Structure 1
C-alpha cells in the first residue's frame, strides 16, 4: 500500500529515507529545542490505543514539511474515542511528543490515554475528577496524555520539559505524562 503526500512522496520512499537516517544519534536533552526548530530531517510518531486497539507508526514530517495525509491519520488516531469526534491536532504538540520520544531513545510506542477531548467528554471527566481542567487544552487539540511501560513518569516528563515548548504534567499515581503546546510550565509529582 502506498500513501502519497501532497508532494508525491510515497510511504516506501519515506521509510527508505528514515532507514537511511536511523544511524544518526538521537538528540540529547541539551539540544532538544534545536530538534523542534528543525534539527531533524524526519519526524515520526508511534502510538497505540488500549481503548480502540489501534496502532500508528507514522512519519509525518520530512525536510521541513508536514505530510498532509499522515497528519490526517494522526488526527484520526488521536480522536475522542468516546464520541468518535476528531479535531485537527496542533502540530506543535505532535512535535513535542515526537521529540520527547526520540530523547527517551525507545522503540516502544506511546500508549495514548487521551488526545482530543470533546467538550462533552471533558465535562464528564471533570465531574469525576478535580484534576480535569474546565478549559482543558485537550478540547483544542493541543494536549496528549501518554504512557510508556519502559520509562518512568519522571523520565518522560524530563524529556518533554527539555523541549521547553509547552506544558508538562506528571501524574505518577496514574502513571502518565501530559504534554501540551500551551504556556511553558510543569506540575505534578
Structure 2
C-alpha cells in the first residue's frame, strides 16, 4: 500500500492547527543529553499526540528493534541507548547520543504511517557518522558533506516501509524538523539544523 499525500499528511495536520499544545517534554533527570532545539514547530505541537515508539531496521547490520523511548517518567534511558546503538557508526563501532528531536520526528512518521495502515517500520540507512567514516564516504563519491550533520549526531537518512519517498519527504518538511533532503525514489534525509529543503 502506498501512502497518499493527503492521507499521510492529513492524519495529523488538524491536530497542529490549534497551536496551543505543549512542546517537547522536559528531559528526565540524570540523562547526559543536550536539550532539543526548540522552534515551536509543528513537530513540537504534535508531541502529545505522537506514540513515543520506534520500529527501526538497520539494513547495514541487519538489526531490527521496537523501542519505547519516552514514558510517564520522561525519557527512557535504556530505550535511548538501544536506538543510539542501532544508529551507531557501525564501520568504526562508535555510539553517541543522537539528537532526540530526530526520534520524535521519526515517531511522528511512524504514528502517521500506522494510522494509514502501514507497519510503521523505518529503515535507517545512515545515522551517526564519525569524521573518519564521513571522509571515507566522500572519497568514495557518495556526496557526504564536509560538515555533515551526521557527524554531529543530528541527521538521519531513512525510508518508511511501504511509504512513498516523495510523500514522506513532504511530510518531513511539513513537520518543520529542520533540514529535509529528498533523494528521489531512494530515501529522505532529516536533520535538526536550520529550516531548508533540497533534492538529490
Normalized against structure 2, the TM-score is what? Answer: 0.74
Q: How large is the Cα RMSD of the aligned pairs? A: 2.1
Q: Distance in 2 between matches of 1:103 and 1:65?
A: 22
Contact 2:113 2:120 in 1 (8 A): no
CA, structure 1 residues 108+97, in 2 after alignment: closer, same or farther (shift >3 Å)? closer
Is 1:72 aligned to 2:74, yes or no? no
In the alignment, which residue of structure 2 is the partner of 1:52? 61
Deviation at 1:89, TM superposition (A): 0.4
C-alpha displacement at 1:119, in angstroms? 0.5
Q: Can you give the 5+ residue segments of structure 1 that lack an aligned partner in the other structure?
A: 1-25
SS state of the match for residue 47, structure 1? Answer: strand
Q: Indicate the residue corresponding to 1:146 in structure 2.
A: 158
- 1:61 counterpart = 2:45: no
Kindly indicate whether the alpha-carbon contact (under 8 Å) linking 2:43 and 2:176 is maintained by their aligned counterparts in 1: no
Unaligned runs of 5+ in 2: 1-9, 17-40
Number of the residue aligned with 2:196: 185
CA displacement, residues 16-35 of structure 1 (integer Å, 9 cap, x when unaligned): xxxxxxxxxx9513545555
Task: Output one character per residue of 1:56-100: Cα deviation in whole Å (capped at 9) or x when no partner.
Answer: 111111247211111111111100111111110010111111112
Which residue does 1:137 correspond to in 2? Answer: 149
Q: 1:30–1:162: 8 Å Cα contact kept in structure 2?
A: no
Matches within 5 A, 1:105-116: 105=114, 106-116=118-128
CA change 1:126–1:93 in 2 (3 A) is same
Does structure 2 retain, via aligned residues, the 8 Å contact 1:85–1:118? yes
Please show how residues 165-180 of structure 1 align to structure 2 within 5 Å.
165-173=177-185, 175-180=186-191
1:21 corresponds to:
none
* Matched length: 163
Whether the aligned pair in 2 keeps the contact of 1:43 and 1:59 (CA below 8 Å) is yes
Query: Using a 3 Å threshold, how does the CA distance of structure 1 residues 179 and 69 change in structure 2: closer, same or farther?
Result: same
Give the deviation of 1:41 after TM superposition: 6.4
1:79–1:116 CA contact under 8 A, matched in 2: yes
